[in-house]
Structure formats: C-alpha cells, structure tokens
Amino acid sequence: MQPFQRFLLIAFVLCSAGSLMAADKFVPLFDGKTLDGWVQRGGKAKYEVKDGCIVGTSVPNTPNSFLCTEQTYGDFILEYEYKCHPELNSGVQIRSHCYSETKTWKDGDKEKKIPAGRVHGYQCEIDANKLSRSWMSGIYEEGRRSWLYPGRCGGNAKAFSEQGKKLYKPEQWNHVRIEAIGDHIVTYLNGEKRADFHDDASAEGFIGLQVHGVGKKADPLYVMWRNIRIQKIDGPSAESPAAGEWVELFNGKDINGWEQHGGKANYKVEDGAILGTSVPNTQNTFLCTKQRFGDFELEFDVMVDPALNSGVQIRSNIKEKDRVWGPQVEIELGPGEAGYIYGEATGRGWLSPKQEPKVTLKKDEWNHYRVVAQGNNIKTWINGQQVADLTDDKMSTEGIIGLQVHGVGKKEEPLWVKWKDIRIRELSSDKSADAGGEWIDLFNGKNLDGWKNPYKWGKAWVEDGEIRLQADKKFFLVTEKTYGNFELQAEIRLPDEGRANSGIMFRCHAEPNKVFGYQAECDPSERAWTGGLYDEGRRTWLHPKRGQEKTVDLFQAPMGEWIKYRIVANGDHLQIFINGKQTTDFHDSMDASGYIGVQHHGEKGQIYRFRNIRLKPLD
C-alpha cells in the first residue's frame, strides 16, 4: 500500500510544544500545593506537601498507610515519578478498594476475609529496600493474592530482577507508567516495559500512595511522588453500546476457523501467537476468518518486524483472483500511519483523511489495538490512545477479519508479524445511544446534591463514593430534575446475603410517600428477572409477563457484586442492558419523561449501594 505523503512526517516533527500539549488528555491528580482530592486510609504514616511533591514519612508501630484518591478509575494510563529511601518499601495502588465492613473475597474455590478498613488491590511495587530482588514496577496484590507479576500471572522472576537492577535509580527520581485497559495491565519503569499480564479481579478502584509499615523503627523513612497524572481511557461500554459476549477468534493453539487468501506467505502458531512470515515474489497475503461480522468491537495484540508493512482487514470481502479488499487497520512502525484506515484493493487509497501521525508502535514489544466498527463509522485505538475516527458511507458494513502479510517483492530474507489475544464481540445495530448531548454525572460521588427523598422514612447517605440506602420498608431516592429521552448508566450492588430486591427507576413520578413509573429490575431470586421492565405502583410487570418465569434473556442478580445497568429511553422505545447484554426491548408510551430513582425494597437491616450514575440526553 502507498504511504501518506512525506510532508506529514515533516509537519509532525516540526510541531510546536504548544500544539502537542493541546492534544494531551492527561489530568493531574496532584496540584503540587495541597492534598485536595486525596484521603488517608490504613495506618498513620505522615503525608505532606513539600517543594511540589507529596512526601510520605514512616512512623513506628502502625500498619501500611495509603493516601488515596477520592475518585475511582477504571481504564486509564497513569504516570508519576517517585524517589524512595533505601530502607523503605512502598508502592502505588491502582483499582483498589477499602470497605467499612468485613468482606469475603473468592479466589476460585478459596475464600479470604478482608477486614474492614483494609486497603486491597493491585499495587505497582517500589522495591527500594530489596535491591537484591529489584521487583520495582512488578504487580503485588495488596491484601489478597500477594505477587501477581512476577508470580501467578506470569513473568520470569530471575530475568525480572536482573532488568530491575539495571533500570532502577536508587535515591533518584524514577518514572513509572501504568496502562490498565480492560483486564490488561502493563507497567513501565524509566521507559522500559516491566509487567504485562491479564487479570480480571478488579475493573476499577482508587489510586493510592503507600508508606509501608516499619515495625518499631523510630527513624523516619521517606518516599516522595511528583508529576502524578492520569488519562482516562474510554471503556468498551462508552463506545460499544449493546455489546455481546467476548469471543476468542484465535485459540492460541491452531488456526481452526481461519483460511488463507491472496498470496503465499506462511502462517503458523508459535508460542501462543499467529506468526506470519513473508516469501518473495507473491502478492499481499491474508489469513481470514471464515465467519463474517457486521457491527463489532475487536481487540488484538501485535508485534511487527520494523521492515514489514502489515494490517488487519475488517468488514472485507474476496473478489476475483482471490483478492481481499476492504477497510484495513494499518500496522507498521513508521512513518506514523499505524491505526489509520486504508482501503485495501478498493482503488481509493487511504480512507482516513490526511492528518498528523498520532502513535508510534513500540519496537520488539506487543502493541494493543482496539477497533470499534458500528454503522458507517470505524474508531481505532493503539495502546489506549485513540487514532482514527472515520465515517464513510461507501464502506461495506459487514465482512471478514483478515491478518495481512504484505508482499515484499524479491526480498529473500523473511520478515515477520505476530498476532495474539484476538477477540471480538458483536454490537447491536441500534445507534440511538450514539446521538444526543454530553454525559452528565447525576451523582457527584461526594454528597446527595440533586437528589431528594419523597418519603418520611428511609435513610440515604454517601460513603466511599457510593449512594447507600437503608430502610425497614420500601422507599426511593429520586433526582430533583426530570428527563425525557436519554441513555442512563448506573451500577447496583446488593447485600452479600439475605433477602434483597432493588432496581433503577426512570421516567418515574413522585408524590408524598409514593413513587411510580418504569423500573429496571434487580432480582436476586430464583425467578431471575434482573433486567426486566416493571411498572412500579401501576401495571406491575411489562416484560416479561407473569407466567414467563423461564424467560431466557434475563438472569439472577448476584449478591455482593457490582452489576452494570444501561437504559436507553427514546420515544416509546425502552431498552435495558445488564453487564453488556440486552435483556429488554419494549415499546410503551405511558410516560415520556420523569425522574431517575434508586430503590430500597424495605428489607430490614440490608444496605443497598449505587454508584457511577450518569446520563446522556438524546433529545
């Protein structure tokens, strides 16, 4: 394929620092002056601001201490610098939690009690007091499973130590980068990759700065942090409405389900990856899925020879002479075209408009691609950074996926490209959620501003960034404002055990001691109607109807786990999605607008929890 015109590369090199900063989406977590936005948990170590740094100092006879963000984060890129006393152990928590009551956590068949007030979760290690081990930027799971990387999630301990000894700068500033996207966590120390693994134990949580306990040691030890910043990454739910379950396109063992088209390059499975190698005097070659896909989200990891051009075909087709044609997501180390969309064999060249290069692939390392194709729009991300956002009415809206080895002319020496962790999930063709305005946080995570209780009973409060409800009989907390057409997202967590029932109210109405209207059900009973549509205070069940206890598209809500709700109300069309799966698709015109609400069903002593409540108007 033909490259962009060379002036693009020149323009990129000559970009001013100001224009580069304008494209920077990082947000500082520390203002350099105060500890606003942070809260201390665990032990009693001292945290203060000095010379634009957060300084943590040990004190004797106290457990591990953590300075934690008030806000929680899911998918993100986090960067910071630290300097640590050579006798102190420390780390930075990510996606971590701390509860006010004892929790039981399951690890397979094993159960672990996590005490109230115990900070737990992933920790990016600062191994300053153990230079012989030097597992800096490894991942330790504080309060739960101990070492993950190196450890149960991968990594060679000896090689990891040797690399750490070369990278770490004792009593100097060290730079760390953490990429947490989906179940994929990657860490870097002073510019070189350290940990790279997949684990789905925690999808979100706070960031925390640790001062490790020092026992009876009275002499204060310090650890310092500066330039702490984070870039939120749009999670799959934000760009992938009505997503189905993830399906692995490659099983890591063989290429069943794939077939070769075009040229004669070689494909084989090696070390859990598909390896494609070039051969001379052949056209572009493609290893293609036998199955066709329409609207989808696709993820894969790729590593490519610096001298080879490659790509991944999406929504593509086969024409005469076994020629593959259609949109291709570009893969190459230079000159900066990676992630843009090329029209393979379409006669149109680049489909993406000419623009500055955004991402340079990492040489001899795995690079993570994410592609969302819906309707006539294709979006791409590389290593968490968005690259392409293409709308094109001339593209096919369905077709095969294909892995390309580009032709190399007469070049005898084989060039290579590798793919692994290739997975896809199909999306609903309903695009109602793509229209409308900006997302609005209905709950700010700090207080109940914008909410009201129409009842004389019921207790509502905010704790750990959550709305919590407790009552002896049914009541609802509702918004002060009403909403008409919208997409709503929220999470519910039922108690760990006992009787429970809850739901999300929408387009509902409030009178003294009464709320009525549509409710997206949260049902932990054996009936398993979670995600159904209930008309509270009026007609009862709309979907499913009574007698349909074996409805297959609903399910039993788990106790003690967060459940993600997505509700789309557009005209008389009402849709409910639970954890990415559609459960209700219903038409009803009784209510065109109303309040949003959360329910406590009235089970005595039970506490119901709600978080991440946000709404996007569709009007």
Which residues are within 8 A (CB) of 4 and not within 5 positions of it... i.e. 6 or more apart?
335, 336, 337, 350, 354
Q: Tell me the pLDDT band of 430, cut-offs 50, 70 and 90.
A: very low
- Residue 8: helix, strand or coil by DSSP? helix
For 223, the token pair is 């650890």
For 582, the token pair is 């559609």
Residue 22 pLDDT > 80: no
Residue 236 pLDDT > 80: no
Q: For the segment 483-511, what is each residue's pLDDT rounded down to a tens digit? A: 999 999 999 999 988 888 899 999 999 99
Report the 3 state secondary structure along 583-607.
EEEEECCCCCCEEEEEEECCCCCCE
Task: Please give the helix or strand (H or E) that residue 80 lies within, else none.
Answer: strand 76-84
For 107, the token pair is 């690890």
Residue 457 pLDDT > 60: yes
Give the pLDDT confidence score for residue 425 in this predicted structure.
Answer: 87
Domain boundaries, the chain: 26-233, 238-429, 434-617
Q: If you average pLDDT over residues 405-419, what whole number do you get?
A: 96
Give the pLDDT confidence score for residue 8 in this predicted structure.
Answer: 35
CA–CA separation, 524 and 499 (whole Å) = 8
Q: Which candidate, 394, 290, 384, places its Cα nearest to that of 341?
A: 394
For 44, the token pair is 């009693």
Q: Tell me the pLDDT band of 242, cut-offs 50, 70 and 90.
A: very low
Give the pLDDT confidence score for residue 238 in this predicted structure.
Answer: 34
Which residues are within 8 A (CB) of 309 and not within 5 positions of it... i.e. 6 or more apart?
1, 331, 332, 406
CA–CA separation, 468 and 515 (whole Å) = 18
The DSSP letter of residue 201 is S
Say which CATH architecture domain 238-429 belongs to: Sandwich (2.60)
CA–CA separation, 408 and 563 (whole Å) = 50
Give the pLDDT confidence score for residue 351 in this predicted structure.
Answer: 92
Q: For the segment 285-298, what is each residue's pLDDT rounded down to a tens digit? A: 999 998 888 889 99
Q: Which candidate, 139, 84, 93, 150, places its Cα nearest to that of 118?
A: 93
Q: Would you list the DSSP string of 376-405?
A: TEEEEEETTEEEEEEE-TTS-SSBEEEEEE
For 66, the token pair is 């953590």
Which residues are within 8 A (CB) of 299 and not within 5 positions of it... i.e. 6 or more apart?
182, 368, 369, 370, 371, 421, 422, 423, 424
Q: For the segment 74-91, what is each residue's pLDDT rounded down to a tens digit? A: 899 999 999 999 999 999
CA-CA distances (angstroms) from residue 356 to 14, 361, 404, 506? 11, 15, 24, 44
Q: If you average pLDDT over residues 172-190, what whole number do you get?
A: 93
Residue 300 pLDDT > 60: yes
Name the CA radius of gyration of the chain, rounded: 26
For 295, the token pair is 């609207």
Residue 463 pLDDT > 70: yes
Q: If you average pLDDT over residues 510-522, what whole number do you get?
A: 93
Give the pLDDT confidence score for residue 554 in this predicted structure.
Answer: 60
Give the pLDDT confidence score for residue 370 in this predicted structure.
Answer: 92
CA-CA distances (angstroms) from residue 504 to 249, 471, 519? 35, 17, 5
Task: Give the end-to-end CA distance of the chain in Å, rounded to a whole number.
Answer: 43
Say which CATH architecture domain 26-233 belongs to: Sandwich (2.60)
CATH of the domain spanning 434-617: 2.60.120.560
Q: If you average pLDDT over residues 332-351, what whole number do you get?
A: 88
Residue 7 pLDDT > 70: no
Residue 555 pLDDT > 80: no
Give the pLDDT confidence score for residue 428 in this predicted structure.
Answer: 65
Exposure of 39 by Cβ count < 10 A (0-12 exposed, 13-18 middle, 19+ buried)?
middle
Q: pLDDT higher for 66 or 101?
A: 66
The answer to whether 26-233 and 434-617 have equal CATH topology is yes
CA-CA distances (angstroms) from residue 572 to 474, 506, 554? 28, 13, 21
Residue type present at position 614: R
Q: For the segment 43-73, what is each residue's pLDDT rounded down to a tens digit? A: 999 999 999 999 999 999 999 999 999 888 8
Q: If you average pLDDT over residues 548-567, what whole number do you get?
A: 72
Q: If you average pLDDT over residues 410-420, what whole number do you get?
A: 96
Q: Tell me the pLDDT band of 558, cut-offs 50, 70 and 90.
A: confident
Give the pLDDT confidence score for residue 548 in this predicted structure.
Answer: 55
CA-CA distances (angstroms) from residue 2 to 179, 323, 375, 412? 32, 17, 27, 22
Residue 20 pLDDT > 80: no
Q: Tell me the pLDDT band of 183, cut-offs 50, 70 and 90.
A: confident
Give the pLDDT confidence score for residue 619 in this predicted structure.
Answer: 67
Residue type present at position 106: K
Residue 543 pLDDT > 70: yes
Q: Is there a contact between 442 and 448 (Cβ–Cβ < 8 Å)?
A: no
> Where do the DSSP E strands lie in 396-458?
400-405, 416-426, 440-441, 451-452
Residue type present at position 97: H
Q: pLDDT higher for 319 or 140?
A: 140
CA dihedral 372, 260, 363, 415 (to 10 degrees): -160
Strand partners, 455: none
CA–CA separation, 501 and 492 (whole Å) = 11
Q: For the segment 103-119, what is each residue's pLDDT rounded down to a tens digit? A: 888 777 788 889 989 99
Least confident of 73-87, 266-280, 426-440, 453-467: 426-440
CA–CA separation, 23 and 496 (whole Å) = 44
Residue 550 pLDDT > 60: no
In degrees, rounded to 5, the angle at the alpha carbon of residue 438 between the alpha carbons of residues 619 and 506 is 55
Residue 358 pLDDT > 90: no
**What's the whole-number average pLDDT of the chain?**
87
CA–CA separation, 138 and 131 (whole Å) = 13
